[in-house]
Structure 1
Amino acid sequence: MSIKFALLSLLAEHPQGSAQLQSTFHERTHHTWPLNIGQVYQTIKRLERDQLIKVCGREGKADIFTITDAGTAELDEWWQRPVEKPADDRDDLVIKMALARDRAPLIKAQREATMTKLRELNRTPAEGAAELLRQRHIFQLEGEARWLDYLEALS
């Protein structure tokens, strides 16, 4: 996840200061991704340097930032770009299955672990971003279970 684009998306909604950006980020993501204020300050400096945001006022001692036209254009491009997993993603389970002389015990153990995690996730409702993340994990585990079925059928 890019902090740069997270902050730009929040600033596209309305001008905010660094502390408010951090707070809004945590509210919207339900604390699923910890973001410390140092990361916010560092990212704000880079965004300002790259002229993607600018100071539009002050609130007490804090600068209030707004997104620039260049920032809006870069954010729009980011929204339109699909998220893809790297093709060379190393997956320990794939390597284990490729190297195993007998896959049956591995498939059995992995299926049990997958189903245990799946049952656990189905019993644990969440909200907001945490719910989106939970649902994504559920679908990934269901896909893994189907893949294990496929491997078992090959044996």
Structure 2
Amino acid sequence: MSIRHGLLALLERGPMYGYQLRAAFEESTGSTWPLNIGQVYTTLGRLERDGLVRALPGGEGGQRPYAISDAGRADLGRWFTTPIGRADPPRDELSIKLTLAMSTPGVDVARVLRTQRKATMAALRRFTRLKQERAADDDLPRRLALDAMIFRAEAEVRWLDHCEAHLGRPG
């Protein structure tokens, strides 16, 4: 997830302080991706350095509001119109963990899979419950974020099934 572009998108709505950006980010993503306030201010500092945002005068209590610049709007527009690349897949900690477990003496790989399945199923139930609680909610972005998390958890369960099926096979 690009925190940088997330903040630019929020600033396109209008100027905001760091804490407002954090709250708006979490609200926009259905509170599914918590954002550390330190990340917000570090990212704002880089965005300001790169000329994509500017600090506005007249902050309250030592806080400075930030606004998106024309260069920031152009960068945001490119991000929205550029597909997410698949050439360099993101590191998948579960895949790394499982492949290392399979080659590390003394590791019970079946137990690693069972433990992960239990955690993934608990997450799937939590996401499904959140979706049901918000069924009447008119917030489409939140519902879609929850759908993405549900689909990923379902895919992980399928992959765990696949791994378990191959554990008992020779080679």
The two structures share one fold, judged by TM-score above 0.5: yes
Identity of aligned residues (%): 28
Change (3 A) 1:138 1:58: farther
Give the deviation of 1:59 after TM superposition: 6.2
Residue of 99, 104, 109 corresponding to 1:106: 109
Give the deviation of 1:120 after TM superposition: 2.5
- Aligned partner of 1:75 in structure 2 is 76
SS in 1 for 2:51: coil
The aligned length equals: 151
Change (3 A) 1:86 1:37: closer
- Aligned partner of 1:24 in structure 2 is 24
Amino acid corresponding to residue 137 of structure 1 in structure 2: A
Give the deviation of 1:114 after TM superposition: 4.3
Conserved 8 A contact 2:7-2:21: yes
Give the deviation of 1:18 after TM superposition: 2.2
CA RMSD of aligned residues (A): 3.4
Give the deviation of 1:110 after TM superposition: 4.1
Amino acid corresponding to residue 93 of structure 1 in structure 2: L
- 1:97 partnered with 2:89: no
- Aligned partner of 1:66 in structure 2 is 67
Once the two structures are superposed, residues 10-43 of structure 1 have per-residue CA deviations (whole angstroms, 9 ceiling, x without a partner) of: 1123332322212101212333333343432332
Change (3 A) 1:26 1:34: same
- Aligned partner of 1:143 in structure 2 is 159
TM-score, normalised via structure 2 length:
0.65
- Aligned partner of 1:120 in structure 2 is 122
Change (3 A) 1:77 1:100: farther
Change (3 A) 1:55 1:120: closer
* Separation in 2, partners of 1:45, 1:99: 43
Conserved 8 A contact 1:114-1:145: no
* Separation in 2, partners of 1:35, 1:119: 24
Conserved 8 A contact 2:3-2:43: yes
Give the deviation of 1:111 after TM superposition: 4.5
Once the two structures are superposed, residues 69-122 of structure 1 have per-residue CA deviations (whole angstroms, 9 ceiling, x without a partner) of: 3222333344423363249x9712112224569x9x633x34433443344234
State which drifts further: 123-132 or 67-76: 123-132
Unaligned runs of 5+ in 2: 132-141
SS in 2 for 1:66: strand
Larger strand fraction of residues: 1
* Separation in 2, partners of 1:54, 1:133: 34
Amino acid corresponding to residue 82 of structure 1 in structure 2: G
